[in-house]
Amino acid sequence: MEQQLSDSIRLNQVGYYPNAPKMAVVVGEVEDGEFYVKTPDLQKTVYTGQLTATKAGEFSNRPTRVADFSDFKEPGSYVLVIPGVGHSYEFEIDRDVHKDVAAASIKGFYYQRMSTDLPEQYAGKWARAAGHPDNEVLIHPSAASTQRPAGSVISAPRGWYDAGDYNKYIVNSGISMGTLLSAYEDFPDFYKNLELNIPESGNNVPDILDEALWNLRWMMAMQDPEDGGVYNKLTTPSFEGMIMPEEAAKPRYVVQKGTAATLDFAAVMAQASRIFSSYENEYPGLADSALVAAVKAWSWAQRNPNVDYDQNAMNKQFEPEVTTGAYGDKDYSDEFIWAAAELYVTTKQDTYYNEVNMLPDNKMPLPSWPQVRLLGYYTLNRFSNELTPAAQKDLPEIKNRLVSFADELIDGADTRTYRTVMGKTEADYIWGSSSVAANQGIVLIQAYQLTDDKKYLNAALSNLDYLLGRNATGYSFLTGFGEKSVMKPHHRPSVADDIEEPVPGLLSGGPNARADKQDQCTTYQSTFADEMFTDDDCSYASNEIAINWNAPFVYLAGAIEALQDR
Ligand code: 9MR
């Protein structure tokens, strides 16, 4: 039995830090008793521990046991052995055990680049020809203006594919960019030393910023220079088939402007402006242009504070019909907070801060594409030493709330079945639940930085463990990492490229309690909330990849690497 690999042993398949908690969970009827950490050839036992009973799975009621081997600190490669069950996947104990996943998850964005070949030198066996030049993009009738009538043509190349589909959406780019740029601003030393092997590597600008710039340049082209408003998306009328980028050649449109898109754009441009102002030699004028764009967008949003992107309504009025992702947010109070915070911190002008109700209520909503309030709070905290009294007065309140929110997230995690912060309630298992785990991790990292209390860092790590395999599905959700990682994500290039392994460094959406109803894929093995996942490309509701899920993974993995005791 010991000789057999068992999928019932759920652990972070990448590995553990010598000085941090290390746990695995065994699913199924198991006797209490000893477990072992052994060398991968099973010849040598390096640690013996006792399994402890834990709660049955919260959603499945399956019996489980926990193996805690935190006391074992010797770097190396190992497996866990549970008598009567078998051995686990091989994992590492290492001082920088998540460095490769931190890098690969940023490199994942490189693989999503549009309008450029990905040569073998950077893309390895996933090399592919350019797709979507986007230099002849049509103005959709919904976006027509005097200077840009319907059917006229603009150029808006570059950017990243949003997800498994081939479109680019400003709202979703907004939170993704904000999260990546914040990872850099919070841990600049870590990112200055993280090489990704992308075309810009070696140019004196940290690779994470060069990668973000690929998308920033596209975003800039999404602003109507006449009035400062920003188009919601650049898209084909309907989704393309499961084909390679170069074969996907349907006409491309920009659709109507909207308040959410314009404010997210303003926030990203303001943040990018202050970051790239340190790279004036490499990118002359970029910081200035970004700030001008941010200010113009902000004033458009002030004049147009309530413009929905209601795709159904748009389709009743205009042709061609557009059926791709809507990202149709209707509440802009959080986008105003985020944009105001970024503009205020970058310009130091109180007017931005004072024009918005920065603390409209005492809620702390977890970030997601329609909810970006906390991105603003994170930024205010990050620059707490440089704020004027206008914002200074709110900081204690914001800090308290962030820490209380972290406490709420942690509550119960140490007895939860998988010993993760993720999974407190079924509400965690939504479309893109992996981003819930990762964004919870970011809140916990913020709390750690505010308090210096290790429990928050360890709690954040528990969600990285979740994403890399200590979960009810047994999958590592990051492609290319872990012996049992996602192989068939809903990702057009990965499906169409005839290469067995999916494009690496992409984060699968993860279990989604309603996935079977949403995508009607027929291969789900279980309908429990935390198990409603299928590693099948038909499942866009549980197994797609998306930039707004990868970005918080980047942040979490990078933060944990940067903050680890060595
Ligand atoms: O992430 C989005 C999720 O919150 C929504 O419930 C879902 C359905 O509207 O759409 C998701 O976003 C998709 C987008 O609309 C199009 N590109 C792929 C995205 C990830 O599935």
Ligand 1 pocket test: which of 112, 160, 162 has the largest number of ligand atoms within 8 Å of its C-beta?
162
DSSP code per residue over 383-404 = TGGG--HHHHTTHHHHHHHHHH
126 and 69 assigned to the same domain: no
Looking at ligand 1, which residue's alpha carbon is closest to its atom 4?
431
What average pLDDT is seen over the chain? Answer: 97
Looking at ligand 1, which residue's alpha carbon is closest to its atom 9?
325
- Please tell me the total count of domains within the chain: 2
CB-ligand 1 contact for 161 (6 Å cutoff): no
**361 domain-assigned:** yes
pLDDT greater than 90 at residue 263? yes
Q: What atom of ligand 1 comes closest to residue 432's alpha carbon?
A: 1
* Residue appearing with tokens 């680049």: 113
217 and 266 assigned to the same domain: yes
* Strand-pair partners of 508: 545
Last residue of one domain, picked from the residues 359, 376, 391: 391
pTM, to two decimals: 0.99
Structural domain for 143, as ranges: 99-391
Active site residue 96: no
The enclosing domain of 322 has a CATH number of 1.50.10.10
**85 domain-assigned:** yes
**566 domain-assigned:** no
pLDDT greater than 90 at residue 151? yes
Q: What is the dihedral of CA 94, 96, 101, 107, to 10 degrees?
A: -150
- pLDDT, tens digit (0-9, with 9 covering 90-100), for 364-384: 999 999 999 999 999 999 999
Q: Is residue 25 within 8 Å of residue 419, measured between CB atoms?
A: yes
Last residue of one domain, picked from the residues 67, 93, 119: 93
pLDDT of 566 reads: 62
- pLDDT, tens digit (0-9, with 9 covering 90-100), for 54-79: 889 999 999 999 999 999 999 999 99
Q: What atom of ligand 1 comes closest to residue 540's alpha carbon?
A: 21
- pLDDT, tens digit (0-9, with 9 covering 90-100), for 8-43: 999 999 999 999 999 999 999 888 899 999 999 999
**353 domain-assigned:** yes
Ligand 1 mean position, distance from CA 75 (Å): 40
211 and 330 assigned to the same domain: yes
86 and 104 assigned to the same domain: no
Ligand 1 pocket test: which of 167, 234, 311, 431 has the largest number of ligand atoms within 8 Å of its C-beta?
431
The angle at the Cα of 161, spanning 124 to 149, to the nearest 5 degrees, equals: 140
**465 domain-assigned:** no
326 and 261 assigned to the same domain: yes
**338 domain-assigned:** yes
pLDDT greater than 80 at residue 300? yes
Ligand 1 mean position, distance from CA 159 (Å): 18
Ligand 1 pocket test: which of 322, 327, 520, 545 has the largest number of ligand atoms within 8 Å of its C-beta?
327
139 and 247 assigned to the same domain: yes
Give me the half-sphere count of Cα atoms (radius 13 Å) on the Cβ side of residue 475: 25
Question: What H or E segment, with its residue span, contains residue 101?
Answer: helix 99-111
pLDDT greater than 90 at residue 488? yes
CB-ligand 1 contact for 110 (6 Å cutoff): no
288 and 252 assigned to the same domain: yes
280 and 255 assigned to the same domain: yes
pLDDT of 446 reads: 98
**541 domain-assigned:** no
The enclosing domain of 56 has a CATH number of 2.60.40.10
CB-ligand 1 contact for 519 (6 Å cutoff): no
Active site residue 490: yes
288 and 317 assigned to the same domain: yes
Sign of the CA dihedral with 245 first, then 251, 252, and 257 last: negative
pLDDT of 368 reads: 98
Active site residue 491: no
- pLDDT, tens digit (0-9, with 9 covering 90-100), for 465-480: 999 999 999 999 999 9
- Mean pLDDT, residues 435-444 taken together: 99
13 and 27 assigned to the same domain: yes
Q: Let me know how long the chain is.
A: 566
pLDDT of 565 reads: 79
Last residue of one domain, picked from the residues 34, 66, 93: 93
Q: Is residue 131 within 8 Å of residue 114, measured between CB atoms?
A: yes
207 and 62 assigned to the same domain: no
Q: Comparing C-alpha atoms, which of 545, 552, 532, 547 is closest to residue 488?
A: 545
119 and 265 assigned to the same domain: yes
**203 domain-assigned:** yes
Ligand 1 mean position, distance from CA 541 (Å): 8
